[in-house]
Chain A
Amino acid sequence: MSRYSALGLLRGAFNGQKHWQPAWRDPEPRKSYDVIVIGGGGHGLATAYYLASVHGVRNVAVLEKGWIGGGNTGRNTTLVRSNYRQPQLHNLFEFGLKLWHGLSDELNYNVMFSPRGAMFLGHSDADMAKLAELGDAMRCDGIDADLLTRDQVEKVEPLLDFSRNARFPIEGAVIQWRAGTARHDAVAWGYARAADALGVDIIQKCEVTGFVRDGDAVIGVETTRGRILAARTGICVAGHSGHVAGLAGLRLPIESQTLQAVVTEGVKPMVQSVIMSNSLHCYISQSDKGGVVMGGDPDNWPSYARRGQPTVVEHAIAQAIGLMPALSRLRMLRTWSGVTDMSFDGAPIIGPTPIDNLFLNGGWCYGGFKATPASGWTYAHTLATGTPHALNAPFSLERFMTGATIDETGVGPMPNHR
């Protein structure tokens, strides 16, 4: 792998930039591997990269049905943060946030991570008490969180509606300054290039159609490009976990639902941070190209269609305009949707399954992108050693049967009410 650098770019300028090579190979699948990762999204590619770089497991294949980064990695709203109340969640996401801060250097690929701050708005005294508790819980584990007054919020985001007859009055916020956004495609491409350089085979247009069994154990997969064997197989296809695990006969605590997002035409900087509100259900940020990105709740009924209801988008936009009336002047560029794994406590699943040699990483609900490095790192540990790391041990599949769920919103087994 040739290293990307400013000097290389300058040198290329003298020969018409003709030195560029493909960033990863396009290999034929081998007959067998030490580890197969099903799913070439950010999480799967990160898993392969950390298997090779941290654990020295380089005989690895990433199997992708379409093209890498073409699923939820290319469909999210690129938010990166670790501001969760439950210690298991914020410790996992914070581990990831620390990796995000050095990721461009580590991968030698600009993932455009921009720690511009992410805030939860408070609209009432009760909101502010809850946000103070959230901030305290984070700070107890060494994670940054600052409680902002109404005036302090106005300094960061002057375009929010601070008038006293505002649709959603703003009383303050809790902000995590180290949080922000990243370039979603670059994350997949950066991990792919770095993993490929360490010997990982990235095999695209290769759909898994079944599992090869030896007794109870999984010893490989059937694919549209033939049978491929592996000592360990990891499912990493959030959105379609139910479908792929179903090929092995597993029933998961997951329902697949549509989550939509919206982006406007590009404008000059008007949203400085990432604005979220738990009392409402919308979040607003501005991309580096200038488009204002907004999202809201899932459509709340099962679907694999990547096609949502306009009413749900309308609801999210109405709330965003209520918070920031100037947004009403922008034209909508496009809306899109992805299929999300809604797990039954709102938290992910990373660990072994009841089937020998088969592992699962999924259930990311609407919050998987931010976890890409942490998900890959802990899943690589799990696949290399056969046992979970302390960070992902709480996110076992058994927790739903033992009652040890990690329910940030306290809703219970009702993914459509989350």
Chain B
Amino acid sequence: MYQIDCPHCGPRAQSEFTFDRPVEAIVPPDAAAADALQALYTRTNPMGVDDEVWRHTYGCRAWLVLTRDRVSHAIDAVRALGPEALS
């Protein structure tokens, strides 16, 4: 994966982007302490496809959700981060 198709900017080099965390590690503001701990400190870490939060840090700085294969590096989808991206 050396190119990521930003929904705002189009295809850009991967070095413009930074990985933040898998979607499962987003902690809702009203999460119970035990759930927050699980979300922060444990991962499914699949040897396969996962949904991940990335940022176009050295571009438009927007937050994105990538559906990405961690073995082949193929990107199935790039979406702007928002309520419908997570559902």
**Chain A residues packing against B (C-beta within 8 Å):** 240, 242-243, 246, 251-256, 300-305, 307, 309, 311, 344, 400-401, 413-414, 416
Contact = CB atoms under 8 A, between A and B. Distances in A.
Contacts of A246: 44-46
Contacts of B54: 301
Nearest to A300: B19
Contacts of A251: 38, 42-45
B72 interface: yes
A305 B73 contact: yes
B15 A344 contact: no
Interface of B: 2, 14-15, 18-22, 37-38, 40-47, 50, 52, 54, 70-73
A243 B72 contact: no
A252 B42 contact: yes
Contacts of A305: 70-73
B42 A253 contact: yes
Interface on chain B toward A: helix, strand, loop, or mixed SS? mixed
Contacts of B70: 256, 302-305
A244 B14 CA distance: 29
Contacts of B20: 416
A242 B41 contact: no
Nearest to B43: A255
A303 B18 CA distance: 14
Given A255-B43, A256-B45, A303 B73 contact: yes
A307 B45 CA distance: 17
Most buried by A among B18, B43, B50: B43
Contacts of A413: 40-41
A256 B15 CA distance: 19
Contacts of A414: 21
A80 B33 CA distance: 40
Contacts of B46: 242-243, 246
